[in-house]
């Protein structure tokens, strides 16, 4: 659990928890695990940015989960169309099953209970929801992804 705990702390170190500055759920998950794995690139921030808030704050697929799937792709994804997709898909399916077992949905709006495009809801609830729902969720995704990536 030591390694997983370190990865969780690395992910949460970047997470903004609804305050000004910091990274969104997708960025912090991707950046935290990638940093822990020794992968450094500005592309990590850039590719994850529009996934935060359930795909550009639309409340769809959880951004942290999307980043976890990207990380699985980095390890198990194919590099040519002739290669098999089964290993990557099986590992992604494992993450999805863990997520669904814990949360019952993969949709940001259902997880958070807020519409991130509604300024009133954002003002009233975002910081609390980021702290009570999203922060532990990011830690869980980071832990699960690390378990999956370190399995042989």
The confidence score (pLDDT) of residue 2 equals 56
**Burial track 7-30 (b if 16+ CB lie within 10 A, e otherwise):** bbebbbebbbbbeeeebbbbbbbb
Instruction: Give the chain's domain count.
Output: 1
Tokens of 111: 């997880």
Instruction: Find, among 28, 45, 25, the residue nearest to 116 by Cα.
Output: 25
Element (H, E) at 4: helix 2-14
The confidence score (pLDDT) of residue 82 equals 95
The confidence score (pLDDT) of residue 17 equals 58
Q: What is the pLDDT along the chain (152 residues), one digit of tens a residue?
A: 456 677 778 778 778 755 556 789 999 999 888 888 888 888 887 899 999 999 999 999 999 999 999 999 999 999 999 999 999 999 999 999 999 999 999 999 999 999 999 999 999 998 899 889 999 999 999 999 999 998 86
Tokens of 11: 């992910």
Beta bridge partners of 23: 15
Domain that holds residue 56: 2-150
The confidence score (pLDDT) of residue 152 equals 65
The confidence score (pLDDT) of residue 1 equals 43
């Amino acid at each position: 659990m030591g390694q997983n705990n370190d990865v969780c702390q690395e992910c949460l170190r970047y997470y903004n928890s609804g305050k000004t500055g910091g990274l969104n759920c997708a960025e912090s998950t991707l950046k935290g695990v990638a940093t822990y794995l020794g992968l450094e690139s500005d592309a990590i921030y850039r590719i994850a940015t529009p996934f935060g808030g359930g795909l550009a704050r639309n409340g769809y697929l959880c951004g942290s989960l999307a980043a976890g799937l990207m990380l699985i792709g980095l390890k198990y994804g194919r590099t040519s169309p002739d290669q098999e997709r089964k290993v990557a898909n099986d590992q992604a399916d494992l993450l999805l099953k863990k997520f669904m077992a814990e949360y019952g949905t993969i949709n940001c709006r259902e997880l958070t209970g807020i519409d991130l495009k509604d300024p009133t809801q954002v003002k009233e609830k975002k910081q609390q929801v980021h702290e009570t729902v999203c922060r532990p969720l990011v830690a869980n995704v980071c832990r699960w992804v690390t378990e999956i990536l370190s399995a042989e």
